[in-house]
Amino acid sequence: MSNKPGLNLADLAPMSENVTISESIVPVYGISAKDGLKIFERFPKILGMMSGEGFNLGAFLTVAPDAVAAIIATATGFPGDERAEAAAGDLGLETQFDILEAIGRLTFTRGFAPFAERIMALANAANSASFSKVPDMKSPVELRPSSPPDTPQA
């Protein structure tokens, strides 16, 4: 354990935001990398909707309603829960949009485009690095003796 002042990583709580639905308040959390990967595995088509040019939430809502329900259920504390996903899928479009906006703010704190740019820069750096290349191995240069070779005596 560190003696340095400040919070320990284990002391950090996920950021949350309360979203009002009718007269109720629902706490919403950002999506972690672990939960995000599970959603991408279930709904691989949504990966194609994300690019460095931005994310079209309106198109996403119309193309991927089951993914929207899964994301909302995950961000409200019920990842993979069929009942929670069904309830999220039954919410009105504007309510879903309100929750998704909160999820976006909490998941991509600097915005989605800067996040995508950072991911692309990291991927480009990894692709250009020579992690998998074996360094060139040249034979050592043959050294010449500093004195003439011994000549056999007759």
pLDDT at 52: 47
Distance CA 17, CA 109 (A): 12
Phi and psi at residue 88, in whole multiples of 5°? Answer: -65, -35
pLDDT at 113: 76
Render pLDDT for 136-145 as a digit per residue (tens, 0 to 9). Answer: 666 666 666 6
Q: How far is CA 67 from the centre of its chain?
A: 17
